[in-house]
Structure 1
Amino acid sequence: MARIFTLGFGIIILVYVISSFKKEPSVGELLAESFENEIYDEFDTLAFDSVFTKTLDSLSTKLSDFQSIKTFYTKNGYCPTLVIRFYKSKNLDVLLNFLQNSTVHGFDPERFSTTEFRSLLGYFKGNNEFNNVSQSYSALAKLELLSANAYIKYINYLKFGVVNPQKVFSRYFINVKRPDVQSTIRLLNSGSMSDTLVSVQGKSLQYMALQSAFIKAENDSVRRTLAVNMERLRWILPQTGEDYVQVNIPDFTLIYFKQRDTLTTMKVCVGSKADDDYEKKMDVFKKTGDYDDKPNNHETPILFSSITLLYVNPVWNIPESIVKKEIYPMARRNSSYLRRNDINVYHKNKLVNNPAGIRWSRYDVEKLPFLFVQRPGIKNSLGKFKFAFENNSSIFLHDTNNKKAFKQSNRAISHGCIRLEQPLKFAELLVGDKDKCDKLRSDIGLVPINKNNLAGYHMKRSHKLTSKDSQLTPSVYTPKKSVPLLITYFTAWEMNNKIEYRPDVYGLDKDLWAAMNKINR
Structure 2
Amino acid sequence: MADVKYRVDADLLNESLRHVVLADTDRETPDIQARRHYLDGGQLVWVTRNGISSKADTLLTYLATVDSIGFSSEKFCYSSLSSDLQRARDLDFDSDKDSCNNINKVYARLEYRLTKAFLRYVEGMRFGFVNPYDAFNRLDVRDSSGVYTSYRSLYDVPTKRPDAKFVSEAFAVMAGNDKAVGTFLAASRPENPLYHVFYKRLHESLSTAERCLVLCNMERSRWRHGNYPQQHKKYVLVNVPSLYLVATDGDEHLSMRIALGSLKTKTPLLTSKIKRMDFNPQWIIPKSIIKNSVRHNAGNTAYFDSHDYFIRQRSTGSEVDPATVTGDMLMSSDYLVIQRGGDGNSLGRIIFRFDNDYSIYMHDTSNRNVFSHTNRCVSHGCIRVEKPYDLAVFMLADKDESMMKKIDYSMTVKYGRHRTDDDDVNSPINRRMMLRSLKVEPQVPVFITYYTLYPNTDGTLVRYDDIYGFDHVIYQRIQKYM
Do Structure 1 and Structure 2 share a fold, with TM-score over 0.5? Answer: yes
Aligned with 1:219 (options 201, 204, 207): 207
The equivalences for 1:252-401 within 5 A come to 252-258=243-249, 260-274=250-264, 298-329=265-296, 335-347=301-313, 349-352=317-320, 355=322, 357-358=323-324, 363=328, 366-367=331-332, 370-401=335-366
The equivalences for 1:73-472 within 5 A come to 77-78=43-44, 80-81=46-47, 87=53, 89=54, 92-93=56-57, 95-131=59-95, 135-170=102-137, 171-180=154-163, 181-188=167-174, 189=176, 191-192=178-179, 193-202=181-190, 205-239=193-227, 241-242=231-232, 243-258=234-249, 260-274=250-264, 298-329=265-296, 335-347=301-313, 349-352=317-320, 355=322, 357-358=323-324, 363=328, 366-367=331-332, 370-433=335-398, 434=400, 435-445=402-412, 465-466=427-428
Aligned with 1:484 (options 442, 445, 450): 445
CA pair 76-337 structure 1, distance change in 2 beyond 3 A = closer
The equivalences for 1:15-34 within 5 A come to none
Q: Counterpart in 2 of 1:506?
A: 468
Work out whether residues 295 and 331 of structure 2, in 8 Å CA contact, stay in contact via their aligned partners in 1: no
Q: Which has the larger radius of gyration?
A: 1
CA pair 52-386 structure 1, distance change in 2 beyond 3 A = same
Aligned with 2:454 (options 457, 477, 493): 493
Work out whether residues 46 and 114 of structure 2, in 8 Å CA contact, stay in contact via their aligned partners in 1: no
> What is the CA–CA distance in structure 2 between the aligned matches of 1:330 and 1:214, rounded to whole Å?
55
> What is the CA–CA distance in structure 1 between the aligned matches of 2:4 and 2:241, rounded to whole Å?
63
CA pair 205-238 structure 1, distance change in 2 beyond 3 A = closer
Deviation digits for residues 85-139 of structure 1, max 9, x if unmatched?
Answer: 975x4x5345335434413223232321333223322322433434489930111
Work out whether residues 82 and 144 of structure 1, in 8 Å CA contact, stay in contact via their aligned partners in 2: no
Q: Percent identity?
A: 26
In the TM superposition, what is the alpha-carbon distance from 1:164 to its structure 2 partner?
1.4
Work out whether residues 34 and 116 of structure 2, in 8 Å CA contact, stay in contact via their aligned partners in 1: no
Q: Indicate the SS of the match to 1:311.
A: strand
Q: Indicate the SS of the match to 1:481.
A: strand
> What is the CA–CA distance in structure 2 between the aligned matches of 1:256 and 1:55, rounded to whole Å?
54
In the TM superposition, what is the alpha-carbon distance from 1:418 to its structure 2 partner?
0.4
Task: Name the structure with the higher strand share.
Answer: 2
Larger deviation, residues 504-513 vs 205-214: 205-214
Q: Indicate the SS of the match to 2:454.
A: strand
Q: Counterpart in 1 of 2:420?
A: none
Deviation digits for residues 322-371 of structure 1, max 9, x if unmatched?
Answer: 11211234567x75232222222234532235x3x4575x7576448642
Deviation digits for residues 380-439 of structure 1, max 9, x if unmatched?
Answer: 011111111111111111011111211222211111100111111211222333143333
CA pair 175-462 structure 1, distance change in 2 beyond 3 A = same
Deviation digits for residues 169-222 of structure 1, max 9, x if unmatched?
Answer: 121012210113233224413633445444544575522232233233543222
Deviation digits for residues 236-263 of structure 1, max 9, x if unmatched?
Answer: 11425513222111111222233x5344
> What is the CA–CA distance in structure 1 between the aligned matches of 2:47 and 2:395, rounded to whole Å?
56
> What is the CA–CA distance in structure 1 between the aligned matches of 2:10 and 2:260, rounded to whole Å?
63
Letter in 2 for 1:411: R
> What is the CA–CA distance in structure 1 between the aligned matches of 2:253 and 2:50, rounded to whole Å?
55
TM-score normalized with structure 1 length: 0.73
> What is the CA–CA distance in structure 1 between the aligned matches of 2:120 and 2:51, rounded to whole Å?
19
Q: Counterpart in 2 of 1:451?
A: none
CA pair 50-487 structure 1, distance change in 2 beyond 3 A = same
> What is the CA–CA distance in structure 2 between the aligned matches of 1:149 and 1:502, rounded to whole Å?
36
Work out whether residues 259 and 378 of structure 2, in 8 Å CA contact, stay in contact via their aligned partners in 1: yes
Work out whether residues 307 and 485 of structure 1, in 8 Å CA contact, stay in contact via their aligned partners in 2: yes
> What is the CA–CA distance in structure 2 between the aligned matches of 1:303 and 1:202, rounded to whole Å?
20
> What is the CA–CA distance in structure 2 between the aligned matches of 1:395 and 1:84, rounded to whole Å?
61
> What is the CA–CA distance in structure 2 between the aligned matches of 1:38 and 1:159, rounded to whole Å?
44
> What is the CA–CA distance in structure 2 between the aligned matches of 1:173 and 1:190, rounded to whole Å?
38
Work out whether residues 9 and 104 of structure 2, in 8 Å CA contact, stay in contact via their aligned partners in 1: no
In the TM superposition, what is the alpha-carbon distance from 1:463 to its structure 2 partner?
9.2
Task: Name the structure with the higher helix share.
Answer: 1
> What is the CA–CA distance in structure 1 between the aligned matches of 2:341 and 2:434, rounded to whole Å?
7
Q: Indicate the SS of the match to 1:216.
A: coil
Work out whether residues 287 and 331 of structure 2, in 8 Å CA contact, stay in contact via their aligned partners in 1: no
> What is the CA–CA distance in structure 2 between the aligned matches of 1:397 and 1:196, rounded to whole Å?
41
> What is the CA–CA distance in structure 1 between the aligned matches of 2:116 and 2:388, rounded to whole Å?
51
Instruction: List alignment gaps of at least 5 residues for structure 1.
Output: 1-36, 275-297, 447-460
CA pair 497-359 structure 1, distance change in 2 beyond 3 A = closer
Q: Tell me the C-alpha RMSD between the 2 structures.
A: 3.5
Letter in 1 for 2:303: Y
> What is the CA–CA distance in structure 2 between the aligned matches of 1:83 and 1:238, rounded to whole Å?
41
Work out whether residues 52 and 78 of structure 1, in 8 Å CA contact, stay in contact via their aligned partners in 2: no
Work out whether residues 117 and 143 of structure 1, in 8 Å CA contact, stay in contact via their aligned partners in 2: yes
Count residues with an aligned counterpart.
437
